[in-house]
Amino acid sequence: MMTPDATYNGELPTATSVVVIGGGIVGVGAALHLAERGIPCVLCEKGTVAGEQSSRNWGWVRKQGRRPDELALMLESDRIWRRLAQEIGEIGFRTGGVSYFAQTDAEMQRHADWMRYAEEYQIETRLLSAAEVDAMTGRSDRHFKGGVTSPTDAYAEPRLAVPAMARYAVHKGATICERTAVRTLLREGGRVTGVVTERGTVRADAVVLAGGVWSRTFLENLGVSFPQLGVRSSAMRTSPVAPISTSTFGASGASIRPRLDGGYTVGRATAARFDLIPAGIRHFGAFLPVLWKRRRMMKVRLGKEFFGPLGRHRWDGDDTSPFELMRTADPAPDEALLRDVFASARTLYPHLADARPVETWASLIDVMPDEMPVIDRIASVPGLVVASGMSGHGFGLGPGAGALAAQLAVAREPLADPAPYRLSRFGPNRAAAA
């Protein structure tokens, strides 16, 4: 077990081996991987550890339904989760299972189609009949056509898990500094030699950028095109109710995850809002297919965000950066949408009849045009590795994604093939001179 007094927020060192930018689950995963191998690292977080997506997500740690080219890394991530759950104490990690229910034949077919990947990767998964779904949910009307369940899938409490991992990384030797925005990179002859933060410079051999939705802003200031946009997603939690199953329940109207406090985290996958920023116009072409695919669930809006810090580019190490202008992105939840989602949840899952809404929140999801992460060395900026664009499923993948990024930074054997995560899939890139 971890020593209870391990804490973060150390003095900012002037030199280290690797600087990690961003204290979400990916950056913390990278720092932990390095620290456990005795490699000096400093993690800089502009606000607080897990202040953005990594404490605001639903908490699902699933292999079920993932794209096949993400499964090898997810299996590694799953192993890290299980080890950490043993080593760092209560983070709400439970192998309670993940289940998705189908309301249409087309949804049922998608679940059935995915079964071949379950077989290929030996993931324990099986289809559910309508009667089995009724039994799981406490219904008796065959409302669902059936479903799919993966009993070895898991979930954790995001608000507990990532800060606990960060404390564990410090216990293992990492330095973690909050309220420390990295403004830009230090470079000599094009190669990264460290970072410029708002508190001074840190020299380093390599830098891992795990900046979530801010990664594009950071990279485009360096002249590296990064087609990533922020999509606002809202969620809520309920008062405690009598449990009916250990499994999460997913359906197109509403998805729910049992919480450690006895309530449920409730949301609707794919229901999201895109607040237009200048990069949205620049990268519009790349995002057109995904916007079209999700046109019924995605609202596009032009508001004050257009002129906000996420949209800013071009500053240098002496300027106040956009990252200091917004310590924590804390967008307003879409309350009307959440009322609708909660009503659906109570209709779909009768055991929620007496649940009350307790808290609502929102966060910006860092989406790539193909909804797959980038975990890659930036060829035009030697010494820089990016691990970002988790596209709404990076909580489960985060420990593995962070470890892979750390391995790329220090040229160690990767725990999974990095090929699916290359930035070059979006075309050739370039970088401004150092």
Ligand X SMILES: Cc1cc2nc3c(=O)[nH]c(=O)nc-3n(C[C@H](O)[C@H](O)[C@H](O)COP(=O)(O)OP(=O)(O)OC[C@H]3O[C@@H](n4cnc5c(N)ncnc54)[C@H](O)[C@@H]3O)c2cc1C
List residues binding ligand X (CB under 6 A).
21-27, 44-47, 51-54, 56-60, 181-182, 210-214, 218, 233, 235, 267, 323, 363, 365, 388, 390, 392-396, 398
| Least spacing, CB of residue 131 vs ligand X, in Å | 28
By beta-carbon proximity to ligand X, the closer residue of 130 and 365 is 365
As to burial, measured by CB atoms within 10 angstroms (0-12 exposed, 13-18 middle, 19+ buried), residue 17 is middle
By beta-carbon proximity to ligand X, the closer residue of 52 and 305 is 52
| Least spacing, CB of residue 53 vs ligand X, in Å | 4
Backbone φ and ψ of 173, nearest 5°: 125, -5
By beta-carbon proximity to ligand X, the closer residue of 130 and 192 is 192
| Least spacing, CB of residue 359 vs ligand X, in Å | 13
Q: What is the dihedral of CA 175, 176, 180, 182, to 10 degrees?
A: 70
| Least spacing, CB of residue 398 vs ligand X, in Å | 5
By beta-carbon proximity to ligand X, the closer residue of 130 and 423 is 423
* Helical segments of 233-358, H only: 278-282, 284-293, 322-325, 335-348
d(CA 343, CA 346): 5
By beta-carbon proximity to ligand X, the closer residue of 21 and 192 is 21
d(CA 25, CA 28): 5
By beta-carbon proximity to ligand X, the closer residue of 143 and 422 is 422
DSSP class per residue in 355-414: --EEEEEEEEEEE-TTS--EEEE-TTSTTEEEEE--TT-HHHHHHHHHHHHHHHHTTPPP
Give the strand pairing for 18-21 and 60-61.
unpaired
| Least spacing, CB of residue 115 vs ligand X, in Å | 21
By beta-carbon proximity to ligand X, the closer residue of 27 and 280 is 27
Asked if 59 and 248 touch (Cβ cutoff 8 Å), the reply is no
Tokens found for residue 46 = 């502009």
End-to-end Cα spacing for the chain: 45
Residue with the closest Cβ to ligand X? 24
d(CA 268, CA 156): 18
Asked if 369 and 426 touch (Cβ cutoff 8 Å), the reply is yes
By beta-carbon proximity to ligand X, the closer residue of 35 and 390 is 390
Q: What is the dihedral of CA 391, 397, 402, 407, to 10 degrees?
A: -110
| Least spacing, CB of residue 132 vs ligand X, in Å | 23
| Least spacing, CB of residue 25 vs ligand X, in Å | 5
| Least spacing, CB of residue 194 vs ligand X, in Å | 14
